[in-house]
């Protein structure tokens, strides 16, 4: 799949730092939503457009019996996510998929 200019820019190292900062800023608002809507303990969770896996990993930690799949189209982000969260690999996976072509 050919990346558009915006997607190519997302792979830049400064954007990786920006994604991490965004996740740190938004997680305090998102975490209570997970508690409110109480997913089943062994849920299968999809993070579409997972980027570097910041939120995917937090969800995996919040639901230790769940399986989490993060999908994105930026290979550099997926590689970083796989490396950063290798310790959760038995239940947290990252795959190259477009949200428009999910299988």
Predicted confidence (pLDDT) per residue in 41-100, tens digit: 899 999 999 999 999 999 999 999 999 999 999 999 999 999 999 999 999 999 999 988
Domains of the chain: 5-101 (3.40.50.150)
Q: Which two tokens stand for residue 31?
A: 């975490």
Question: Nearest-CA neighbor of 70 among 14, 26, 23, 33?
Answer: 23
pLDDT tens digits for range 21-35? 888 899 999 999 988
Position 6 scores a pLDDT of: 63
**Cβ within 8 Å of residue 64, ≥6 positions away:** none
Residues 70 and 56 sit within 8 Å (Cβ to Cβ): yes
- Place 16 in a pLDDT band, splitting at 50, 70 and 90: confident
Specify whether the CB–CB gap between 56 and 50 falls below 8 A.
yes
**pLDDT of residue 12 exceeding 80:** no
Rounded Cα distance between 102 and 81, Å, is 19
């Amino acid at each position: 799949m050919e990346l558009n200019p915006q997607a190519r820019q997302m792979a830049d190292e400064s954007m990786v730092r920006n994604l991490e900062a965004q996740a740190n800023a938004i997680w305090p608002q998102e975490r209570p939503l997970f508690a409110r809507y109480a997913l089943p303990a062994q849920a299968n969770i999809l993070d579409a457009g997972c980027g570097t896996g910041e939120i995917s990993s937090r969800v995996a930690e919040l639901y230790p019996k769940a399986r989490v799949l993060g999908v994105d189209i930026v290979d550099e982000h997926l590689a970083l996510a796989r490396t950063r969260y290798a310790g959760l690999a038995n239940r947290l996976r990252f795959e190259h998929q477009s949200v428009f072509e999910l299988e």
